[in-house]
Amino acid sequence: GIQVEQSPPDLILQEGANSTLRCNFSDSVNNLQWFHQNPWGQLINLFYIPSGTKQNGRLSATTVATERYSLLYISSSQTTDSGVYFCAGGPGAGSYQLTFGKGTKLSVIP
């Protein structure tokens, strides 16, 4: 099956700093998603981004499908951005189960 590698595993930022999280896939993926898991365990959808670039406020994401990676950019980080960020992808262009990475644990300190 698909292997998903996320980096870095842990990240500590001063409030206001920018960061880039990376996700590499071992094979072609579709239905690529980025999630933020808050301290209560809820997975919050950030981006559905099989390819291309999207932006939502201080967050943006880019997926280069041909090179099997995706990047999540967080600008002007806030303490509420703390939590675990997961990327996940499915094997085909359709309704398939997602394979998740191990996540990046982000701590934003005031």
Partner 1 sequence: GAGVSQSPRYKVAKRGQDVALRCDPISGHVSLFWYQQALGQGPEFLTYFQNEAQLDKSGLPSDRFFAERPEGSVSTLKIQRTQQEDSAVYLCASSLVTGPYEQYFGPGTRLTVT
For residues 51 and 77, what is the distance between their CA atoms, to the nearest angstrom?
25
DSSP label at residue 65? G
18, 53, 102, 109: residue in contact with partner 1 (rule CB under 8 A): 102
Query: Could you say whether residue 103 binds partner 1 (CB under 8 A)?
Result: yes
For residues 73 and 57, what is the distance between their CA atoms, to the nearest angstrom?
11
**Residue 70 parent element (H or E):** strand 69-74
Query: Could you say whether residue 90 binds partner 1 (CB under 8 A)?
Result: yes
| Nearer to partner 1 among residue 41 and residue 57 (C-beta) | 41
Q: What part of residues 5-44 is at the interface with partner 1 (CB under 8 A)?
A: 30-31, 33, 35, 40-43
Query: Could you say whether residue 45 binds partner 1 (CB under 8 A)?
Result: yes
For residues 23 and 14, what is the distance between their CA atoms, to the nearest angstrom?
22
Interface positions with partner 1 (CB under 8 A): 4, 30-31, 33, 35, 40-43, 45, 48, 86, 88, 90, 94-103
